[in-house]
Every structure is written in C-alpha cells, then in structure tokens.
Chains A and B, each alone.
Chain A
Amino acid sequence: MIRSEVLKTIIPIISDRLVVCNIGLPSQELHMLDDQPSNFYMLGTMGLASSIGLGLALAQRDKVIAIDGDGSVLTNFGTLPTIANNVADNFILLIIDNGSYGSTGDQPTYAGGKTSLTAVARACGCENVVECQAEDTAEVMKQALDSNKMTIIVSKCESGNVKVPVIDMDPVVIKYRFMQEVQSRNPD
C-alpha cells in the first residue's frame, strides 16, 4: 500500500476534521481525493506541518490532524520534543512513513534505514506513539480520535506515487476558508 492508498482509507474518518497537510504530493493527493475547507494545504516550507498543527491545536478546541511524512519529520526533528512537552489532547500527528522523499523522486530517507521515528518520538517524551502497518492506519486513526489523547501515529507504507495535478488555489484562499472553518467550530 502506498501513501495515496493510505490517504484513501482514512478519508472517510478525517474528511470532516481539521487537517494540516504536508507540502508536495500529500497535499496534492488529499486535494484531489477530498478537497475540503477544513484542509490546510502547505504549498511551501517543508517540515512544518506538525508545528502548524500543534500551534493550531493549542490555540483552539477542535481536533486537529497533521499529516506529515518521514522525510519532513527528519527535516524538522526539533518538533518532536516540542510536541512531547506541550501536550494538546486534541492533536494527532500522522507520519506516513514510506522511507523515502516521495515528492522529489523517492530518494531513500534514514527512516527507511536504521532510524525508527517511533523510537525517536518515544525518546523525545511523546506518550502515545503507535506504529502500524499501512492497512491498519484507518483503524488506528479512529482509535486515536476516540481516545481524546494526543497521539502520534507512524504508518509504515510502501514508497510510490500516483499522478496528481498541482494545487492552483491561492494560498490566501486556502488560509481564509480554513480560518472560517476553524472559527465556525469554536463558537464563543
């Protein structure tokens, strides 16, 4: 199972949730499969999906799912201690770990080698870290949403991409409709 197939299996569960999605193919795939005002697509800045997601979760009450990749987490490793030490029980970080930099041509990452992001997240102090196989991601996501506990999911999947169009929506439009959606979920 490759990343786009993992996304397909979790869409029924996350479609109406606030989602911050990683730059490149993950955002393009989510946009193609299930564009929603509750999706924030990153068009630039590799590595910051988990940071944006945590900031959003700490600032308001609704549940937030950040969809990240192994390469992006490796590029912003400092995010894991920050997440561990600033617990937001409305935050789920899903790391789709295909062991490669998918958007740039599937070059291998160290997460596909000796480095376990699950072990790193635990060593950083994150308390609920679940590693699963790609096929089980939807079930694990459902459990994480039900648990009301900050959870990090590391979904191990195969490397590979599907053809997707780029996102031509203006960044300010993505932000505006997302913020309207956030606001509507946080009545005073």
Chain B
Amino acid sequence: MSVNQKIVSDLINNGIEFVTTVPCKQLAGVIDEIERSEEIYHIPSNKEDEGMGLCAGAFMGGKRSAIIMQNTAIGVTINTLVTLIQYYHIPLPMLISYRGELGEPVACQVEMAVHTKALLAQLNIPTYHFHAAGDVEELDAILKHCFISKKPVAILTDASFWKGA
C-alpha cells in the first residue's frame, strides 16, 4: 500500500466521507487518491476558508469531513479556525503540506514555514509533524483524537516525509 493509499484508507476507516482540497505539489498524489475514492465526496475549494465552511456544513449534516491544504493556508484561515471551527466545536482534521522545510526549492516558502508552528501553537491547535516515512502510522490515532476532542487538528507533512514515503 502506498502512503497515499494508507492516508486515504485511514480517513475512510475513521468515517470521513467529505474532503475538500486546495492543491500543493507535495499533496498531488493524495489528492488523486481522494478523487479516485468512491467512499469520499471530493469537493475542491478555491480558498481554504471557503473549504472550512464546506466542511463545517457537511459535519452538521452528519458527515465527518477533512481539509487538505498547504501550510500557507494557516495565514488565510486564522479567523475561520477561531470563529467557526473552534467557536462551534467542530472537529476538523487538517492534512497540511509543510512547505519551506529542508529540501525546499522555493525560497519564499520558508517565510511561511517559520511561522507555521508558532501560529498553530498560538491557536492551541493540536499539531503533529510527519517527518519520517513511518510517522504516518500515527494518523489513525490522530484522527480519532480529533473527533473525540471536537477540535481542529493539524498534521504537518514535510518534504522529507514525502521523499521517504
């Protein structure tokens, strides 16, 4: 099983049926896998805050949801995370490509990478960092933690993780 298949199968096994995505190069494979999945309704969004609105609606409609996006989106979605997702206690797994870490070819990505964990910490968002290929084994437990706690949860996946996967 590829890492992309493993991720999508963990989402499905945790009852996630509605996934919104905003693409990133590192996430291309997992997004393809989501699109192929018959168990998941895949709805690409144009901006990550829009995507979080879709996820909140789907959750209230009885479907567990998740968002897949780049870490730059943390800058876009702070207000939505605080006044919608956290304020109304909506569980939201966020699978995030952690651009700007070791091996990053695009200098500008480093600018947001240096703020990513600090922003998530400031927002009291439980944050997990997948760096080695084996780290994906924690995903199932992280998803369960997200839904029992009814919180947004960040899973940062860096270039080393995707390279080794």
Contact = CB atoms under 8 A, between A and B. Distances in A.
B36 to A, nearest CB: 18
Given A51-B53, A79-B50, A82-B54, A45 B84 contact: yes
Interface string B53-75: 11111111111010000000000
A60 to B, nearest CB: 4
Contact of B61 (A43, A59, A171): A59
B80 to A, nearest CB: 5
A44 B65 contact: no
Contacts of A186: 62
A54 interface: yes
Interface in A37-61: 40, 42-45, 47-60
Contacts of B57: 20, 51-59
Interface stretch (B23-31, B39-47, B154-162): B39-47
A55 B61 contact: yes
B79 A52 contact: no
Contacts of B7: none
Output the residue of A20, A42, A51, A76 with the most chain B CB within 10 A.
Answer: A51
Contact of A45 (B18, B46, B59, B83): B83
Interface of B: 17-18, 41, 43-47, 49-63, 65, 79-80, 82-84, 87-90
30 contacts: A44-B83, A45-B49, A45-B53, A45-B84, A47-B49, A48-B84, A51-B45, A52-B53, A52-B54, A54-B54, A55-B43, A55-B55, A56-B58, A56-B60, A56-B61, A57-B57, A57-B61, A58-B58, A59-B17, A59-B57, A59-B61, A79-B46, A79-B53, A82-B43, A82-B45, A82-B54, A86-B43, A171-B87, A174-B88, A186-B62
